[in-house]
A and B are shown apart, each in its own frame.
Chain A
Amino acid sequence: MNSIERITKALNFEIPDRIPVIPQIFGHAAVISKVPLHEYLRDGELLARCQIKAFQRYKYDAVFGLMDVCVETEALGSVLEYKKDYYPLIKKYALSGATDPELLSIPDPYQTKRMSELLKAIEILKAELGDEILIVGCVLGPMTLTVQLLGAERALYLAIDDIDKFTQILDFAKTVSLKFGLAQIEMGAHLPLVFEPSGSPAVVPHQFFREFILPRLKEIFSEYKKAGAAANWLHIAGHTGSILSYYPEMGVDIANFDYYVDPLKAQKMLPKTCLDGNIKSLCFIEATPAEIASKSKKLLDLFANRGGYILSSGCEIPPESNPENIVAMVGATK
């Protein structure tokens, strides 16, 4: 059984040959290939080569055409600062002096810097790995991109002070997410992971999520499915307990859940949705391989009778993680 078949079984709550395992390895792929992170993040071919090496080393079930959370905002005019071996930081937001999305134009992902490199990475991953392993792209959700265009404080205050302007920007961001994700599918991604950390109940109340974020994610996921996405995967970290019940309505097939969420509660709230999670990310730096193996086994046991599960971390496995810990997690499924 290859990874795609294994994940399809998990999505359908059928019994795979083993539980799929997807460590969320992004920048860590650069570190283990001894490639400077800031170069990995700007070179699609380098990213793809590192992802392939990481997959060959660890033998898990998905590779990621994913750079960082600043790709879209940079394409729209935000100024980034790249430091050696760090993820980039936003120095100036694209809408730092205004709140008018008409000042921006929807970028062409094939022509715009870093977006096009990410598409190149996906194209290489597809050419090299085909349909044996899940090739995952990544887009920011509309709320997160709105925050990345305005800055978090301005975005949240705008939502209260000028809701019309806020929704205009949110709709603009939704269009960017849609277009970028569709381009990723066209270049060979089996699905674009939708990363929406600013939609977390730690940031906005669940009512806000329901009214403003849910309808836009629903539209995005619907379009991805029409374009051939193998599944819709939503990634929101933190305490998502109060919004998990909205996931089926949005068309989410794979729901990431973080270490804050009790796996049994997640199972209860999403009885028909495949779940992935939820080992605490920092454990991959701090814990021992035996501890990771134990945490993995505990999760596998909790899902043994239910199915519909992918063993994973709750969020990104930090670049500087101990490789032995990833070996331990993957090993727990075999």
Chain B
Amino acid sequence: MNSTVMHLLIDAILDGDVSRAIIEVKKLLNAEVKPERIIKEGVAEVMVELDKKCTVEYFNLLDIMLAGRVIMAVVTVLYPIGIPSSQANGTIIIGTPEGDIHDLGKNIVKIMLMGKGYRVIDCGKNCPIEELINAAEKETANAIFISGLISTIIPKVREVKSKLLQRNLKDIKIVAGGGALKQLTAKRLNVDYVAETVFDGLNFLKELHEEEL
């Protein structure tokens, strides 16, 4: 029965239907299915489907946002006060650097990370680099995701790695994405990875996770 309901949940999320998804997730919780399992076998499966659908050429925000809105609602039902560290796949700091207020991409990445079971600390838009680093240090983060649409933030993004090293935080990975940043290679941007799409960034994290295991 749970497997059928899980598929109904997946269908509802892919269909962008918030009300239906919440009904299905509540059914699963009533059947004592643990939130971690709903994330792993339900929400994360949606991500796999979206990843297949949204190739680099056919990626569009609207499709992602529709699913993202449902994922956010489902995650809120599962974890009303946020995903606890003990159950999370890791902690990610995310932000749009100072000088850039385009946060749509960042918000989508945040939702998808949460849907994959990561604990996400959102530093917002127009955010000083120091704030991202402080949050990463305080929260013992696994990675910092930096989203940026405009070229003027590039010099600031390049500073993040050296500032992390100054604080002996060399294990924290830096992932960059967004209109301007993805035009550069990771080496030119002085980050660990440049993600073409949100799913590309998620796959980088998955590979990191597998390496750690």
Contacts and interface: CB of A to CB of B under 8 A. Distances in A.
Interface of A: 83, 86-87, 89-90, 152-153, 156-157, 159-160, 201-205, 208, 239, 241-242, 259, 280-282, 285-286, 318-320
For the complex, would chain A's binding face be called helix, strand, loop or mixed by DSSP majority? loop
Contacts of A86: 99, 152
Contact of A239 (B56, B152, B154, B183): B56
Contacts of A83: 99
Interface in B147-172: 150-152, 154
Given A204-B60, A320-B151, A320-B152, 4 more contacts: A156-B61, A203-B60, A242-B58, A282-B151
B60 A201 contact: yes
A83 B153 CA distance: 13
Contacts of B154: 285
A166 to B, nearest CB: 12
A122 B174 CA distance: 44
A280 B61 CA distance: 22
B59 A202 contact: yes
A205 B66 CA distance: 12
Contacts of B62: 156, 159-160, 203-205, 208
Nearest to B108: A153
B188 A286 contact: yes
Interface string B56-97: 111111110110010000000000000000000000000000
B57 A282 contact: no
B107 interface: yes
Contact of B183 (A87, A89, A160, A282): A282
Contacts of B151: 281-282, 285, 318, 320
Contacts of B208: none
A239 B55 CA distance: 11
A320 B150 CA distance: 12
A115 B62 CA distance: 31
A202 B99 contact: no
B12 to A, nearest CB: 15
B57 A160 contact: no
B149 to A, nearest CB: 10
Contacts of B180: 282
B196 to A, nearest CB: 10
A86 B107 CA distance: 23
A159 B60 CA distance: 14
Smallest CB-CB A-B distances: 4 pairs: A282-B183, A318-B151, A152-B104, A89-B101
Contact of B107 (A153, A160, A241, A282): A153
Contacts of B107: 153
Nearest to A153: B104
B86 to A, nearest CB: 31
Contacts of A201: 58, 60
A160 B69 CA distance: 12
A204 B183 CA distance: 21
Interface hub of B62, B107, B150, B184 (most chain A Cβ within 10 A): B62
8 contacts: A86-B99, A86-B152, A152-B61, A153-B107, A156-B61, A156-B62, A159-B62, A281-B183
A202 B61 contact: yes
B2 to A, nearest CB: 30
A250 to B, nearest CB: 20
Nearest to B152: A86
B61 A203 contact: yes
Contact of B61 (A204, A281, A285): A204
A239 B57 contact: yes
A89 B149 CA distance: 12
A232 to B, nearest CB: 25
A203 to B, nearest CB: 5
B117 interface: no
Contacts of A319: 152
B183 A202 contact: no
A241 B57 contact: yes
Contacts of B66: 160
B16 interface: yes
